[in-house]
Amino acid sequence: MGMARRPARKPRDQYHHGDLRAALIHAALRRIQRDGVAGLTLRGVGEDLGVSRTALYRHFADKSALLATVAAQGFMTLRATLVAAWEQAGKGRRGFEAMGQAYVRFAITNPSYYRVMFGGALEGLARDPELEREGAAAFQVLVDALVEQQRARLVRADEPLQLARFIWAIVHGIAMLAIDGLLPPDNVAVDSLARFAMERLRSGIDPGR
């Protein structure tokens, strides 16, 4: 009984070591990335973790609560990605364009993830408050970047919220069309569309003179 701290043996069905909740989220995300949202089953994540298929109900009210948590994490990651792109490209016009590109890239890199974040899977469902909060925080990054550009006279003085929604719709629209296979399927084409969009967004589609 000397080396007491080290357990004699740990059978592989030992995810109760403290954070089954985190493990469930992680396993769910992996399943989603592999099989899509429709392929996510509670029984499946239970198996992955060597845990009963009902163990999850100790940590989440139901399947949609688990999905909401996954989505909230997605928005955290997205926000970090956007901030990084904006700052690394030196803010301003270049930074803003980089942010737009980063948004679309995030979506096409994690299509199932992105789909969970936006209504598709939670259609008509009561939205989770944490999810609301993280979504709002990600949106705020865009608003802040716009206001900063307005102060520097890089963007016209429209109502920032309306402007932000408009631009969000553009990148979200490109992202969704790409994910749903309605754009030429190579990433280069999507990238090029995103770049084109950020450019036309600046100057508009009216003729040159």
Partner DNA sequence: ACCTGAACACCGTTCAAGT
Residues that bind a second copy (CB under 8 A): 36-38, 112, 115, 118-120, 123-124, 127, 135, 153-158, 162-163, 165-174, 176-177, 179-183, 192-193, 196-197, 200-208
* Diameter of the chain measured on Cα atoms: 87
Quick note: the x/- pattern for DNA over 26-55, rule CB under 7 A, is --------------xxxxx-x----xxxxx
Q: Number of residues in contact with DNA, rule: CB under 7 A?
A: 21
In whole angstroms, what is the distance from residue 132 CA to residue 115 CA?
A: 16
State which residue, 130 or 191, has the beta carbon closest to DNA.
130
Contact range with DNA by CB under 7 A, out of 62-70, 104-112, 152-160, 197-205: 62-70
Query: Within 3-22, which residues bind DNA (CB under 7 A)?
Result: 13, 15-16, 20
State which residue, 26 or 172, has the beta carbon closest to a second copy.
172
Provide, rounded to whole angstroms, the least separation between the CB of residue 46 and DNA. 7
Provide, rounded to whole angstroms, the least separation between the CB of residue 21 and DNA. 8
Q: Does 147 bind DNA (CB under 7 A)?
A: no
Q: Does 58 bind DNA (CB under 7 A)?
A: yes
Radius of gyration of the chain from its Cα atoms, rounded to whole angstroms: 21
Listed residue (132, 130, 115, 108) closest to 184, CA to CA: 108
Can you spell out the DSSP letters for 44-81?
A: HHHHHTTS-TTGGGGT-SSHHHHHHHHHHHHHHHHHHH
7 binds, among a second copy, DNA, none (CB under 5 to 8 A by kind): none
Q: In this structure, are residues 96 and 86 in contact, taking their beta carbons and an 8 Å threshold?
A: yes
Structure tokens at 25: 């989220």
Structure tokens at 30: 């992996």
In whole angstroms, what is the distance from residue 183 CA to residue 166 CA?
A: 21
State which residue, 73 or 149, has the beta carbon closest to a second copy.
149
State which residue, 29 or 198, has the beta carbon closest to DNA.
29
In whole angstroms, what is the distance from residue 178 CA to residue 190 CA?
A: 7
Tallying the residues shown for the chain, one arrives at 209
Structure tokens at 51: 């845990």
Please give the residue ranges that form the binding site for DNA (CB under 7 A): 13, 15-16, 20, 40-44, 46, 51-55, 57-59, 62-64
